[in-house]
Chain A
C-alpha cells in the first residue's frame, strides 16, 4: 500500500498539538515544506464533514493548494481527513491523512500517515512492505549512482 508514515515527538501537550494541527491559526504557522514561505490561506472546520483548505507557496515561487474533508475528529488524539491537491500541479486523486496523538512523558508523540497515495489497486491491497521494497531499490540505485 502506498503510504508514508512519520513519527515525531514534540515537547508540547496533546491538546496544544491538536489545536496547532486543526485550527486555521495553527495551520498557518507550520504548513508547507519551506520555512520562511508563508501560508497564503488557511481554512479549517474541524468536525466530521467539515472542510479545510490550505494554500501555500514553496521556495520555487509556485503556489499549491490542498483541501479536503474531516472524516474523524477526536480531540486531542485522532484526526482523519481526505486530501486532494486542488491547485498547483497534477492531481493524483484523493488520498487520506491520518494523525494519531499520544501523550508521552516529554509531551506528544505524533504518528502521521499519508495513505492511499497512489491508485485504487494499491489502496485496496493489503500488502505491506513498501518501505522495505524502497530500501532495497535505494540500495540498488546507490550502487549504480
Chain B
C-alpha cells in the first residue's frame, strides 16, 4: 500500500506541471515522438525538456528507447489509469453520498412544508 501511495505521489507530482502535461498530450496525439520533436513547441532549452522527461520517466508515464542518435519517447498509460481510478473512487463516494443527502433533505423539506400549512 505504501508503494501504491508513492506511485500516486509521483504520478500527481508529474502531472501537476503544465509543460509536462503538454508533453503527454502531444505523445497522446502522436504516439511515439523523438525528443527534439517534443521540445519544438516549447520555449525552453533542450536540457530543461530532458529534465521534464526524467520526471515523467520516474513516474513511469513515459518510456525512452535509444536507437542510434535518436531517443524515441512513448506514452505509458498505466500510472494515469491508476491515478484516475483513485480519483474516481472519491467521485463515486461523494456523488452517491450527495444523492442520498438530497433524498433525505427533500423529505425533511416536505415535512417542514406540511407543518407550515
Contact = CB atoms under 8 A, between A and B. Distances in A.
Interface in B77-117: 77, 80-81, 84, 87, 90-106, 108-109, 112
Given A6-B91, A34-B96, A118-B12, A16 B105 contact: yes
Contacts of B25: 136
Given A92-B5, A107-B109, A144 B90 contact: no
Contacts, number: 121
A137 B13 contact: no
A122 B13 contact: yes
B48 interface: no
Contacts of A31: 97, 100
A8 B102 contact: yes
B21 A13 contact: no
Contacts of B15: 133
Interface residues of A, number: 46
A30 B16 contact: no
A10 B87 contact: no
Contacts of B101: 8, 10, 17, 20-21, 29-30, 110
Contacts of A127: 16-18
Q: How large is the interface on B (under 10, 10 to 19, 20 to 34, 35 or more residues)?
A: 35 or more
A1 to B, nearest CB: 8
Interface string B1-13: 1101100110011
Given A4-B90, A10-B101, A21-B101, A137 B106 contact: no
Interface in B31-88: 75, 77, 80-81, 84, 87
B84 A112 contact: no
Contacts of A17: 101, 105
A114 B18 contact: no
Nearest to B95: A6
Nearest to A125: B16
A2 interface: yes
Given A92-B5, A136-B25, 7 more contacts: A4-B91, A13-B109, A29-B104, A119-B13, A122-B12, A125-B16, A141-B84
